[in-house]
């Protein structure tokens, strides 16, 4: 099958439509990845790399610093919402939000910026919408960690044109309460493990979660029971009860610190950590990132905010690269049948990234809005 031709020099909204109209549901990204790779190979200022259906293109200008700008090529399944349609300056269809408008911004700038002020690595990856074990960015990080090296990363996930920085870490632990089973008609011969969970729940209910400022963004923590199970039968005094707790912790804490904190709150109990993932620093204290935030504020009006949930930015953080989310589209419309993105957000997102990477003052750049 011939490779689809993509014109990266077209206006960014046209490019976004072309990308959306090549379906690429997770697992079927090859056609789109081939088109992206072929288009990027037309630009001699870019070195193009490929791993599976992930495509990377990078400048090699020996700039002092390198920025990674990443986006995923796959979408959730199409639900009768393709091909795209443009209506009253809104682009409708699968992928317009999550996240081919963002990919269009990346490709458009990868082609246009042959002399950015920072070296740039453009990353286009597969399998983001499915099981984390399949994630293309994770695979590249394992196979070629050097490909993702950089001083700062931008993930072009939809944020409606604002910056959402870093993310909280997450830790899950099981608190096991032990008792002695007995017939409930002779309860005094047993020890009730479910009653023992009362104090654990009391501590969790009384816990005042911290709000931490990390590199200019505000992260709200939380420590919650998410599951509880205990008891064997309605005539038996329970000999075991398990409370599963989930601690969401600011990216300024390590997993070890988070573990110690949970153990301290639940001191005296049998606490076993079952999984944990560190958060991601936003890195917004870096002048490079501050320039980006200034460009975004000037062009889209979006002030930086903390990302509370765990996202792929944490994959960059685990490689030592601070990262933020930034892209066109309302994240609440992602995955919906009515997925749609205002043209203005696509254009302004491109303009903000362009201003930052070209070193221009945002106000000096034409937005290209009619």
Catalytic residue among 37, 53, 128, 221: 128
* Selection from 30, 31, 159 nearest residue 101 by Cα: 159
The answer to whether residue 168 forms part of the interface with a copy of itself (CB under 8 A) is: yes
Task: State how far the Cα of 131 lies from the Cα of 143, in Å rounded to an integer.
Answer: 18
Which of 18, 29, 34, 74 does the annotation list as catalytic?
74
**Known catalytic membership, residue 74:** yes
Contact 357, 296 (CB under 8 A): no
Matching residue, tokens 């990216």: 251
Asked if 213 interacts with a copy of itself (CB under 8 A), we say: no
205 near a copy of itself, judged by CB under 8 A: yes
10, 130, 228, 319: which one contacts a copy of itself (CB under 8 A)? 228
Closest CB to a copy of itself among 30 and 246?
246
209 touching a copy of itself, by CB under 8 A? yes
What is the distance of C-alpha 15 from the center of its chain? Answer: 23
Least Cβ distance, residue 140 to a copy of itself (angstroms): 25
Q: Chain centroid to CA 157: how far?
A: 7
Nearest by Cα to 166 from 225, 118, 212, 107? 212
Looking up tokens 């549901």, which residue turns up?
25
Work out whether 176 is an interface residue with a copy of itself (CB under 8 A). Answer: no
Pick 15 or 200: Cβ nearer a copy of itself: 200
Q: Report phi then psi at 208, rounded to 5.
A: -105, 105
b or e along 114-124 (b: 16 or more beta carbons within 10 Å of the residue's beta carbon)? eebbbbbbbbb
Residue window 287-306: x/- pattern of binding to a copy of itself, with contact defined by CB under 8 A: --------------------
170 scored as a contact of a copy of itself (CB under 8 A): yes
Check residue 224 for interaction with a copy of itself (CB under 8 A): yes
Q: Are 357 and 105 in contact (CB under 8 A)?
A: no
Measured from the CB of residue 125, what is the shortest distance to a copy of itself in angstroms? 22
Tell me how far apart the alpha carbons of residues 105 and 234 are, in angstroms, rounded to a whole number. Answer: 60
Give the whole-angstrom CA distance, residue 135 versus residue 127: 5
The least CB distance from residue 261 to a copy of itself, in Å, is 16
What is the footprint of a copy of itself within residues 180-199 (CB under 8 A)?
183-188, 192, 194-199
Residues that are catalytic: 74, 128
Summarize as ranges the residues that interact with a copy of itself (CB under 8 A): 168, 170, 172, 183-188, 192, 194-202, 204-205, 209, 220, 222, 224-231, 233-238, 241, 243-244, 246, 248, 308-310
């Amino acid at each position: 099958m011939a490779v689809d031709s993509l014109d990266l020099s077209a206006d960014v909204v046209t490019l976004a439509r072309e990308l959306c109209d090549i379906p690429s549901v997770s697992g079927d990204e090859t056609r789109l990845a081939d088109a992206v790779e072929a288009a990027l190979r037309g630009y001699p200022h870019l070195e193009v790399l490929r791993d599976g259906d992930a495509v990377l293109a990078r400048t090699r200008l020996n700039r002092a610093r390198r920025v990674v700008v990443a986006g995923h090529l796959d979408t959730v399944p199409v639900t009768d919402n393709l091909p795209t349609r443009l209506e009253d300056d809104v682009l409708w269809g699968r992928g317009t939000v999550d996240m081919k408008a963002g990919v269009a911004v990346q490709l458009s700038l990868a082609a246009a910026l042959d002399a950015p002020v920072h070296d740039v690595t453009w990353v286009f990856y597969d399998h983001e919408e499915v099981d984390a074990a399949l994630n293309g960015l994770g695979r590249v990080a394992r196979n070629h960690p050097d490909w993702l090296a950089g001083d700062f990363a931008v993930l072009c996930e939809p944020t409606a044109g604002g910056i959402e920085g870093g993310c909280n870490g997450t830790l899950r632990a099981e608190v096991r309460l032990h008792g002695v089973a007995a017939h409930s008609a002779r309860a005094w011969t047993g020890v009730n493990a479910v009653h023992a969970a009362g104090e654990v729940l009391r501590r969790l209910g009384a816990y005042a979660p911290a709000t931490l400022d990390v590199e200019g963004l505000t992260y709200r923590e939380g420590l919650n029971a998410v599951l509880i199970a205990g008891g064997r039968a309605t005539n038996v005094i329970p000999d075991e009860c398990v409370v599963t707790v989930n601690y969401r912790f600011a990216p300024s804490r390590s997993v070890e610190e988070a573990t110690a904190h949970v153990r301290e709150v639940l001191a005296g109990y049998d606490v076993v950590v079952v999984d944990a993932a560190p958060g991601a620093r936003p890195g917004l204290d870096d002048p490079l990132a501050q320039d980006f935030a200034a460009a975004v504020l000037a062009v889209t009006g979006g002030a930086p905010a903390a990302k509370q949930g765990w996202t792929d930015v944490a994959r960059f953080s685990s490689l030592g690269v601070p990262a933020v989310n930034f892209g066109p589209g309302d994240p609440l419309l992602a995955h919906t049948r009515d997925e749609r993105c205002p043209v203005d957000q696509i254009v302004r997102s491109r303009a903000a990234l362009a201003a930052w990477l070209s070193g221009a003052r945002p106000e000096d750049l034409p937005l290209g809005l009619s």
